[in-house]
Amino acid sequence: MQLSRFPRRRYTDGPTPLEPLPRLSDHLGGPAIWVKRDDLTGLAFGGNKTRKLEFLVADALAQGADTLLTTGAVQSNHCRLTAAAAAKEGLACRLLLEERVPGSYDPDASGNNFLFGLLGVERVEVVPGGTDLNARLAGMAEELAAEGRNAYVVPGGGSNALGSLGYVACARELQQQAFELGVAFDEVVVASGSGGTHSGLLAGLLGLGAGLPVAGVSVRASQAAQEAKILAHARETAALIGAPAAVEPEDVVVFDDYVGEGYSYPTEAMVEATELFARLEGIVLDPVYTGKAAAGLIDLVRKGRYERTADVLFLHTGGAPGLFAALEAFRGRLGSTHYFADTGGR
């Protein structure tokens, strides 16, 4: 696993923190829960896509690209971080947003949509859910080529074998941190969406012989579809790094019980998980990915998946800006907060 042979940009200064969550653990009466703070990676507000972009943008620069093209849902964290990487490298950026929930796009919305403009995105194109995104990205690249420009297409979520190297690197980082802390984790729980984080971490840990299973909480697809996608991604990544261990179907674990009505639709369990992380540990989740993944973790603890003596790691993949575009999901649903204002006649 000689990752140094792959060109890489560095957007994060050092390892992201690995922290215990003692108040959450006590509240649930279950195992010791820890968090890997990949919400604290570099670039604008951080998140897991930063690790993937380190390898993808290096490839774009090696190919002489002057523009990054990518796609994601409305309020996409990946699109935000791609725009941030483009700004840092002096590249233009164009985004293709898929309106997976009809009527959900608002050009004046807060959250990531506001940040697209702040980060200088050159153009945002919005298409209905179910559009052939790869075909449209190819068309956008051809349009730029006709203008004499050189576009690099970053896959949705940064999720191809090259992007997944970011989480192969994270697996190595995690193993070293666990060694230094003297903690033998029993499982890692992570949101599973486009698949690059889940599959890269899985391929990396298997390649290292870490003996640490990874459980993905699907935020969109059914269990069968997501497991098939993760298996294919993980095998491609393992082949790219020349991992000695093969990725087998039994290595891929996905839970699809926490999606709710569909991608980005709020659930009561997500709201509860987001409140618990905030009020017990001061950690902010997002409503689409980490909130639902944390809901899965909490439910698995309550159902007795882990022994009380276990150590379970939650990989926080970021996304907090999305909260500010989803306030209605939380109004009247969080626990009571009392406000008192004394204006003193002012």
Instruction: Give me the active site residues, please.
Output: 76
CB 245 within 8 A of CB 183: no
* Residue 180, helix vs strand vs coil: helix
Burial class (CB in 10 A: 0-12, 13-18, 19+), 40: middle
CB 322 within 8 A of CB 264: no
Q: What is the DSSP string of 282-322?
A: -----TTTHHHHHHHHHHHHHTT-S-TT-EEEEEE---GGG
Q: Which residues pair with 313 in a beta bridge?
A: 34, 188
CA dist., res. 55 & res. 165, Å (int):
7
Rg, the chain, Cα only? 20
User: Which of left, alpha, beta for 120 (phi over 0: left; psi -120 to 50: alpha)?
Assistant: left
* Residue linked to tokens 């971080």: 81
Structure tokens at 32: 């010791």
Burial class (CB in 10 A: 0-12, 13-18, 19+), 258: buried
CA dist., res. 201 & res. 212, Å (int):
10
Q: Kindly report the backbone phi and psi dihedral angles of residue 67, in degrees, each rounded to the nearest multiple of 5, phi listed first.
A: -145, 135
Structure tokens at 293: 């993944």
Helix residue ranges, H only, the chain: 22-28, 49-62, 77-89, 112-118, 133-146, 161-181, 196-208, 223-241, 268-281, 290-302
Beta strand 187-192 pairing with 311-316: parallel
Structure tokens at 9: 């940009």
Sheet arrangement for strand 92-99 = 123-128, 92-99, 67-73, 151-153
